[in-house]
């Protein structure tokens, strides 16, 4: 069945004119989308969207992909669920006008069609193209004076936390949740009830609604808690043995294999042997400290613990955006687990920008992104990186800081305030001659190390860059350039306001889709604002 093309009329009808006049104060993007839908979804872009269907045919609902893509945007604009979006196509004249079905009494599409279309967009990476399309649309409009803009881009990158949508659980609940998934999988495979599996496999703790209820101890008592853990672990072992003896082949295949792997992973990351056997039969305990890359949710396996600052923790992801400072358009987005350093997002951001054949002339970042390949590449092509430098500090603040030492990066030498010279290597630690330091009149201001030990200074791997950045902030112009990063902070604040603090979906890829959609809407609002100015 051929994929239908969306060809709604361009000229507004009298009823649409009336609605457009009503949309000048609130929800103005409905009006913009109605008037510019044929430009956003032009013939070439509709052909690209239709190509998504070539592998499987048109599917159950032969609806124009461009119309569904518009519905996906409207859904993001008003923050509606799939079910609500379907209803809004019947009860909201603004939806009907934008989707080209004004006056209809039937839904424009089914909930299933919208769900399937979103997954199709994700599978074909067309959410990325939707965002790129807004940058292309901006180039076609008269809202931006492109001739006056720099030839290469001034791109800024920033990130914000995104709380994951999955439930974060403690060790007992994580183990119970993972075991419940194994039991549910077995029940489905054997066509048994969950209760029967629990009884036969020797894991009665799962017969209760929660694992803590099933263990039923005084949780504030460490001894009772330790005993409860041994009891739970013994039942998990019984479940594992039962699977090995009753389902030896099935346990090597999905889906049972995956559920067992999840359970094994939670056991390995959260439990450790009790030192010295623990006495009293307690062979394992909850691990001290957090395991690297610890899984924190069964529902969303990609969520991680992260930190915004030393005191502020969050669970889930980081959302990153890269925007052009001259047009305010968002060019690329990325999602990373919350425990990953910011620099991990830059390969995706860079490849999305490069795909649009755009070149970064100036890169505005915060220190989290400084150790990234993108920075190396921008500097390597003779372009500039604008970033706040690390401020040299010393304990207590009363001793000389690194800034009081003169670094010669050509000869790789460092000169102290008493004019002692020492050579260094990048990424190492310099120690001044102990005898000189012991007899130095400036020693009290320089080091608190015991006699016989010279002052130490750490030299960063990227010391050359850091020196360059420190030089930048010594001039008025340099400080003014640094302040321009505030624009990306505003862009990001709008994205956070649009998306909310909590993720809409489970998993990184669906949340990348949601971020790209939010960025697409933001770009459309930017274009609208510039055109109206
Ligand atoms: S204590 Fe050592 S490093 Fe510090 S100023 Fe004196 S000689 Fe230089």
DSSP codes, 489-509: HHHHHHHHHHH-SB-SSSSHH
Quick one: 105 and 187 in the same domain?
A: no
Measured from the CA of 436, which atom of ligand 1 is nearest? 7
In a domain, 263, yes or no: yes
* Boundary of a domain, candidates 244, 271, 286: 286
Please report how many Cα atoms fall inside a 13 Å half-sphere around the Cα of residue 262, on the Cβ side: 24
In a domain, 260, yes or no: yes
Residue 407: the pLDDT is 94
In a domain, 243, yes or no: yes
- Residues contacting 410, CB < 8 A, separation 6+: none
Residue 497: the pLDDT is 97
Mutate which of 394, 447, 449 to test ligand 1's pocket (most atoms within 8 Å of Cβ)? 447
pLDDT along the chain (533 residues), means of 10: 89 96 93 96 96 67 90 97 97 97 94 96 98 94 76 93 97 96 97 96 95 93 93 96 96 96 96 75 82 94 91 94 96 97 96 93 94 94 92 80 93 96 95 96 94 94 91 91 94 97 97 98 96 85
Sign of CA dihedral 265, 271, 272, 277: negative
Mutate which of 394, 437, 445, 457 to test ligand 1's pocket (most atoms within 8 Å of Cβ)? 437
- Residues contacting 527, CB < 8 A, separation 6+: 32, 134, 137, 138, 141, 143
Quick one: 277 and 209 in the same domain?
A: yes
Residue 282: the pLDDT is 58
Quick one: 108 and 197 in the same domain?
A: no
Cite the beta strand spans of 346-438 per DSSP E: 360-365, 384-387, 406-408, 413-415, 421-423, 429-431
In a domain, 118, yes or no: yes
Helices 346-355/373-380 angle, 10° precision: 50
At 413, list the tokens: 């030498």
Residue 434 Cα to ligand 1 middle (Å)? 9
Residue 472 Cα to ligand 1 middle (Å)? 28
Quick one: 189 and 278 in the same domain?
A: yes
In a domain, 132, yes or no: no
Contact 462, 371 (CB under 8 A): yes
Q: Return d(Cα 337, Cα 306) in angstroms, integer.
A: 8
Mutate which of 399, 407, 432, 435 to test ligand 1's pocket (most atoms within 8 Å of Cβ)? 432
Based on C-alpha coordinates, what's the Rg of the chain? 30
- Residues contacting 78, CB < 8 A, separation 6+: 27, 88
Measured from the CA of 443, which atom of ligand 1 is nearest? 1
Quick one: 120 and 189 in the same domain?
A: no
Residue 16: the pLDDT is 96
* Boundary of a domain, candidates 459, 480, 496: 459
Q: What are phi and psi of 386, to 5 degrees?
A: -115, 115
Helices 463-472/476-483 angle, 10° precision: 100
DSSP 3-state of 69: helix
Summarize pLDDT for 192-245 with one digit per residue, the tens. 999 999 999 999 999 999 999 999 999 999 999 999 999 999 999 999 999 999
Q: Return d(Cα 442, Cα 407) in angstroms, integer.
A: 19
In a domain, 515, yes or no: no
Residue 424 Cα to ligand 1 middle (Å)? 16
Residue 110: the pLDDT is 95
Residue 469 Cα to ligand 1 middle (Å)? 26
Residue 533: the pLDDT is 80
Residue 417 Cα to ligand 1 middle (Å)? 7
Quick one: 34 and 93 in the same domain?
A: yes
Kind of pairing, strands 304-307 and 360-365?
Answer: unpaired
Q: Return d(Cα 232, Cα 170) in angstroms, integer.
A: 14
Confidence (pTM):
0.91
Measured from the CA of 441, which atom of ligand 1 is nearest? 6
Q: Return d(Cα 510, Cα 331) in angstroms, integer.
A: 19
Q: Return d(Cα 359, Cα 155) in angstroms, integer.
A: 9
Residue 437 Cα to ligand 1 middle (Å)? 5
Listed residue (324, 337, 331) closest to 350, CA to CA: 331
Residue 146: the pLDDT is 75
Residue 60: the pLDDT is 60
Contact 101, 71 (CB under 8 A): no
Quick one: 26 and 90 in the same domain?
A: yes
Residue 147: the pLDDT is 74
Residue showing tokens 């800024």:
156
In a domain, 365, yes or no: no
In a domain, 507, yes or no: no
Sheet holding 413-415, edge to edge: 406-408, 413-415, 421-423
Report which protein residue has its CA nearest ligand 1's atom 2: 437
Measured from the CA of 446, which atom of ligand 1 is nearest? 4
Residue 446 Cα to ligand 1 middle (Å)? 6
Quick one: 116 and 193 in the same domain?
A: no
- Residues contacting 214, CB < 8 A, separation 6+: 176, 204, 205, 206, 207, 208
Residue 401: the pLDDT is 92
> What residues are in contact with ligand 1 under a 6 Å CB criterion?
416-418, 420, 432, 436-437, 440, 442-443, 446-447, 454-455
Measured from the CA of 447, which atom of ligand 1 is nearest? 1
Residue 280: the pLDDT is 53
Quick one: 182 and 99 in the same domain?
A: no
Report which protein residue has its CA nearest ligand 1's atom 7: 437
Residue 107: the pLDDT is 95
Residue 276: the pLDDT is 72
* Boundary of a domain, candidates 406, 439, 459: 459
Quick one: 181 and 117 in the same domain?
A: no
In Å, what is the CA distance from 112 to each residue of 59, 121, 445, 503? 11, 14, 71, 21
Residue 445 Cα to ligand 1 middle (Å)? 9
If one counts the domains in the chain, the total is 3
Contact 483, 313 (CB under 8 A): no
Report which protein residue has its CA nearest ligand 1's atom 4: 446
Q: What angle do CA 50, 53, 54 make, to 5 degrees?
A: 100
DSSP 3-state of 114: helix
Q: Could you tell me the residue range of the domain that residue 448 belongs to? A: 395-459
DSSP 3-state of 388: coil
Measured in whole angstroms, the distance separating CA 258 from the mean position of its chain's CA atoms is 25
Residue 466 Cα to ligand 1 middle (Å)? 23
């Amino acid at each position: 069945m051929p994929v239908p093309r969306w060809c709604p009329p361009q000229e507004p009808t009298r009823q649409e004119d009336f609605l457009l006049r009503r949309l000048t104060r609130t929800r103005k993007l409905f009006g913009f989308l109605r008037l510019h839908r044929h430009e956003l979804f032009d013939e070439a872009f509709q052909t690209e969207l239709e190509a998504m269907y070539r592998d499987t045919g048109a599917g159950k609902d032969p609806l124009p992909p461009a119309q569904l893509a518009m519905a996906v945007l409207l859904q993001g604009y008003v923050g509606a669920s799939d079910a609500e979006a379907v209803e809004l196509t019947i009860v909201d004249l603004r939806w009907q006008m934008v989707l080209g079905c004004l006056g209809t009494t039937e839904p424009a599409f089914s909930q299933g069609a919208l769900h399937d279309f979103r997954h199709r967009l994700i599978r074909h990476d067309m959410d990325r193209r939707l965002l790129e399309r807004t940058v292309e649309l901006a180039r076609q409009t008269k809202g931006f004076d492109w001739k006056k803009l720099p030839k290469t881009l001034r791109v800024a990158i920033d990130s914000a936390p995104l709380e994951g949508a999955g439930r974060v659980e403690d060790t007992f609940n994580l183990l119970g949740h993972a075991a419940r998934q194994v039991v549910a999988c077995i029940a489905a495979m054997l066509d048994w009830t969950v209760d029967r599996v629990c009884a036969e496999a020797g894991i009665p703790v799962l017969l209760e609604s929660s694992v803590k209820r099933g263990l039923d101890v005084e949780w504030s008592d460490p001894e009772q808690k330790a005993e409860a853990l041994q009891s739970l672990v013994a039942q998990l072992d019984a479940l594992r043995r039962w699977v090995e003896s009753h389902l030896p082949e099935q346990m090597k295949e999905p889906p049972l294999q995956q559920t067992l792997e999840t359970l094994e992973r939670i056991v390995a990351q959260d439990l450790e042997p009790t030192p010295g056997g623990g006495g009293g039969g307690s062979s394992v305990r909850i691990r001290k400290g957090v395991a690297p890359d610890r899984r924190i949710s069964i529902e969303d396996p990609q969520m991680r613990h992260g930190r915004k600052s030393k005191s502020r923790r969050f669970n889930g992801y980081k959302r990153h955006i890269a925007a052009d400072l001259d047009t305010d358009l968002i060019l690329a987005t990325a999602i990373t687990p919350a425990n990953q350093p910011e620099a991990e997002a830059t390969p995706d951001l860079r490849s999305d920008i490069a795909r649009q054949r755009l070149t970064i002339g100036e890169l505005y970042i915060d220190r989290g992104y400084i150790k990234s390949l993108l920075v190396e590449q921008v500097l390597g092509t003779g372009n500039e990186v604008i970033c706040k430098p690390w401020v040299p500090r010393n304990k207590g603040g009363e001793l000389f800081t690194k800034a009081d030492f003169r670094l010669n990066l050509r000869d790789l030498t460092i000169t102290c305030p008493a004019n002692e010279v020492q050579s260094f290597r990048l990424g190492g630690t310099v120690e001044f001659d102990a005898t000189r330091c012991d007899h130095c009149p400036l020693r009290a201001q320089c080091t608190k190390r015991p006699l016989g030990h010279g002052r130490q200074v750490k030299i960063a791997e990227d010391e050359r860059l850091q020196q360059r950045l420190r030089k930048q902030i010594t001039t008025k112009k340099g400080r003014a350039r640094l302040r321009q990063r505030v624009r990306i902070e505003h862009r990001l604040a709008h994205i956070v306001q649009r998306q909310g603090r909590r993720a809409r979906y489970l998993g990184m890829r669906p949340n990348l889709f949601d971020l790209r959609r939010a960025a697409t809407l933001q770009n459309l609002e930017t274009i609208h604002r510039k055109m109206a100015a």
